[in-house]
Amino acid sequence: KNEIRIAIDGPAAAGKSTIAKLVAEKLGYTYIDTGAMYRALTYKAIGAGIDLDKAAEVEALLPGTEIVLKAGADGQTVWLDGRDVSAEIRTDPVTNGVSAVSAHAGVRTYMVDAQRRMAEEGGVVMDGRDIGTAVLPDAELKVFMTASVEERARRRHAENLRRGFDSSLEQLAGEIALRDKKDSEREVSPLVQAEDAVLLDTTSLSINEAADAILELVREKV
Ligand code: C5P
């Protein structure tokens, strides 16, 4: 069986995780949400009262930190030091703090090593910001997924409403744009399209259409 590695990168809220999950399900592959790992560390750092901009303090947490992604019946759960933090890592303080944490070189080395080990066997769909450029530069298929910032804010807003809390569309668009700016301008493996990545703009695509586009690309590879 030829089980490839699929790297999906792109800016915040472009639909990467929803579509990556669906593609993984259809292929019987493992979905790996690398953003969740940076979020878990950010959650821990906030809890420890650490200044997220201080590399040495954030990096000092790493040796005593265990982050595990578990595949469950209703999706992936994220465990930090033996505790399920799947809900906590999606809260605003974490979302707005994660770009500071993920910019530290020592944090990236640690996460990238762990992510490479997870992908060793192949048969993975991994989403993030630097999968095609840094984590799996030899991935058989690389997709760079984008959507207009307005459309991304609109989707996030709809998701919030579904989850039962209101949000401001304008504020969401501002937060998404700021996170993209930080992720794209950081020194270590910034968010950038890999040379050999296929650009997929999902602005006017449904979830199924975007997943089908990727599955078509997979068919050309295997
Ligand atoms: O994908 P998600 O929005 O959950 O990612 C959260 C944050 O984690 C990103 O904004 C980015 O700062 C960081 N990240 C990263 N590299 C990855 C995945 C996520 O720097 N491979």
Mean pLDDT by 10 residues, the chain (222 residues): 91 94 96 97 98 98 96 87 96 95 98 97 97 98 97 93 90 95 96 98 96 97 86
Task: Round to whole Å and give the CA distance between 199 and 202.
Answer: 10
pLDDT of residue 179: 95
Residue 47 backbone dihedrals phi, psi, to 5 degrees: -60, -30
- Specify the residue with its C-alpha closest to ligand 1, atom 2: 35
Which atom, in ligand 1's list, is nearest to the CA of 16?
1
pLDDT of residue 87: 94
194 assigned ligand-binding residue: no
189 assigned ligand-binding residue: no
Q: Which of 67, 86, 98 to mutate to test the pocket of ligand 1 (most atoms within 8 A of CB)?
A: 98
- Specify the residue with its C-alpha closest to ligand 1, atom 14: 35
Cα separations in angstroms, 2 against 13, 166, 208, 222? 30, 45, 24, 6
Task: Round to whole Å and give the CA distance between 80 and 145.
Answer: 28
pLDDT of residue 188: 95
12 assigned ligand-binding residue: yes
